[in-house]
Amino acid sequence: MMKRTAAAAGSALTALLLSTGCLGSATALFDPGFLSAVGLGQSAATLPGDAPALVVALENRINAPVTATISFRGSNNQVQTYVANAGAGEKTARALVCTVSELTVGNIADLNEIGVIVTLGDGQPGDPTLDVEPFGVLLREGANYDCGDAVTFAVLPSGATRSGYQVYAFIQRAQ
């Protein structure tokens, strides 16, 4: 919340200074720490390609909540797993600190393991669930993605699967 407030203050300050034509000379009047806090300092942001992380997202493009198990091989060759939840039409993401040498939905050691579960019903405890067919693909750094890229696992409707849903991976390369 603090970052949003600082960003909003920075945007308002920038708009005010631009509208009065004083941006160049007026910034000298403000404390450099304040300017940095509102996103106007020299170290305000870096480009995704400079980031030491891989952004991994779960995007739910269906009308029911989904739960996905994301598995990756991180530094020291350690396999790590986390669970991501996304409501109907929602997207959630996490930055994984590089090195991330392998990545999949499900289990790196068993690509036939279920990685996404769809919850049917109206969100009550005990609602029935539906297993989505395994993603079945092991993504590899250097071949499919690089540090600084973004990988989005999207759950979409599918007429080609028994469950009626399928997981796709979309990779956005850092420039």
User: Dihedral, CA atoms, 156, 159, 161, 166, nearest 10 degrees?
Assistant: -10
Distance of CA 62 to the CA centre of its chain: 18
CATH of 48-172, one of 2.60.40, 2.40.170, 2.60.290, 1.20.950: 2.60.40
DSSP code of 159? S
pLDDT digits (tens, 9 = 90+) for 6-54: 444 444 444 444 444 444 444 445 555 554 444 444 443 344 556 589 9
DSSP code of 49? G
Give the strand pairing for 165-172 and 150-157. Answer: antiparallel
pLDDT score of 123 more than 80: no
Say whether pTM exceeds 0.95.
no
> For the chain, which residues make up each domain, given as ranges?
2-37, 48-172
pLDDT digits (tens, 9 = 90+) for 135-169: 999 999 999 999 999 999 999 999 999 999 999 99
Tokens matching residue 43:
């170290």
List alpha helices for 21-153, DSSP H: 23-26, 32-37
